[in-house]
Amino acid sequence: MKKPKTSFRRETPGLPARRVAAEILEAVLGRGRPLDEQLEGHAGLAALEDRDRALARQLIGSVLRRLGTLRHLLSQFLQKGGPPANAPRVETALLIGAAQILLLDVPDHAAVDLSVRLAQADDKAKHFAGLINAVLRRVAREGKTLLANIDSADVDTPRWLLQRWSRVYGTDSARAIAQANGHEPALDLTVRSDPQSWAEKLQGTVLPTGTVRVLAQGRISQLAGFAEGAWWVQDAAAALPALLFGDVRGKRVADLCAAPGGKTMQLANAGAQVVAVDRSETRMNRLRQNLARLNLQAESVVADATEWTAEPFDAVLLDAPCSSTGTIRRHPDVPWIKHEADITSLTPLQQKLLEQAAALVKPGGSLLYCVCSLEPEEGIEQVNAFLARQPAFRRRPIAATEIGGLSELLTDDGDLRSLPCHLPGPDPRQSGLDGFYAARLDRQP
C-alpha cells in the first residue's frame, strides 16, 4: 500500500512573527493578561528565529505604546462602531498593519499584504480581509498626514490615568510623563564594578547615579559581560533604593518581595548579609539563577512577607506590590490592563507589608519602603499614615549627593520621587527613568 503524499506548505516569510504578535496582543487587550506573562509563556514566540522573535516583540511594543493613536487614526477609516467585536483578529491585524506603516521601517505593500494574510488565516476574520486591505491602503496614503495632527500625549494614555497625573503633578508634567512613556527605553545595567569601563565596552554611557545605559540590539545574554556575571539588567530608578542604606558591609539586610532580585544583588555585591523573601517559587528560582550567574551569595526564602518573621535586621527593604504605573515605558500593557480601582485595592496589602517590615527592624535600624508607582496612595500617603501609626520611626531625608546629585528626584520631605520624564535628553531612547517612590524610615534606638 502506497503511503499518502505529504505536502509541506511553507508559510509566507514574516507571517509567523505577526501571528504570534497578534495572539499576544489579543491576550493582553482582550483578556487583560500581563504582557510579561505572555512573553515568557508563549510557545510560539520561543519557537521563532531570533530575527522574527525580535520583530514580534517590536510589533507588540509599538502597538501598545501607541494604541490610542492607532485606534484614533483607524477609526477615521472605519464605519461608525469600529471593527467587529466578534472577530478580534480584525482589529489586531489593522493595528499591526498600521503600526508597521506609520511607526516602523516596513514597506507599505508588505505591511498590508501580511495583515490581510493574518486575517485570512482566522475563521472569524477572513470575511473582513477586503476591509482590512482597503483600510490599510488608505492608512498608507493618508495616515502620516493625519498622524501629525494627533496629540499622542493625550490619546495614548487612558483618560482616567492622565487626569490623575495632572492632579498630582500638574498638566505639563502629566503630559511629559505620557510622552516619555511613548518611547521604548534603553537598556539599563547595574555593574558590579568599574561602570566607566563597561560603558566603553558596551558603547553606552554612565548615568550620574552609576547605572550604565546602552542601546543594545539582540539577545541580552550575548552582550559582553553577561556570561561572566559582570552586570545585571535593572532600571536606573529601581537601582536607587538599595543605595540609600549607605555602607551595608557586614550588616544583616532583609529584602522583602525581592524577586527577580535586582536589589538583592546590589546589597549582596555591597557586602551585606542578605535574606531575600518572596512568595513565588518561580520568581525565587529566577533570583537564585541570577545570583549564581553573578557568583553572589544571599539566603533565599519562599514565604508570604506579610506573615514572615525572623530576628530583627539592621535594615529592611520593602519593594511593595503596586499598580506599576511608573513602569509603563518598559511595560506598555499597564495602562490597558489596569483600572483606577486597582490602585486602592492594593493599598491594604501595602499597609500590612509595611507593618510586618517594621517589626523586622532592630532599634537604630532602617526601613526603606518603595514602589514603582506614580500614585500618591501607594507612596507618600502610605508612608505618612505609617509614621502616624508608628511613633518609633522617623523619616530620614535623602540627600541629592546620595543619588548622583539629581535633586529634581527629591520631594520637599526628602523622599525619592522619580518620573519617567526625568533625565531628559536629545535622544528619547537614551532619556527617562522609571517612576519610583522611596522613603527612608529610621527606627529610634
Positions annotated as catalytic residues are 372
Q: How does DSSP assign 290-329, residue by residue? A: HHHHHT---EEEES-TTT---S-EEEEEEE-----GGGTT
| CB 241, CB 436: distance < 8 Å | yes
Cell 561602570 sits at which residue?
A: 195
- Ramachandran angles phi, psi of 345, nearest 5°: -70, -25
Give me the residues paired with residue 252 across strands.
273
**DSSP-assigned beta bridge partners for residue 233:** 189
Task: Give, to the nearest 10 degrees, the angle between helix 108-120 and helix 129-147.
Answer: 140
Q: Whose CA is closest to 316, among 381, 373, 272, 349?
A: 272
**Would you give the DSSP letter of residue 361?**
E
Strand-strand pairing, 187-191 and 361-371: unpaired
Look at residue 359 and give its three-state secondary structure: helix
Spatial contact of 438 and 368, defined as CB atoms under 8 Å apart: yes
CA distance 51 to 437: 37
Q: How far apart are CA 150 and CA 70, in angstroms?
A: 10
Q: What are phi and psi of 229, to 5 degrees?
A: 70, 40
Beta bridge partners of 369: 318, 439
How many CA atoms, within 13 angstroms, populate the side-chain half-sphere of residue 185?
Answer: 27
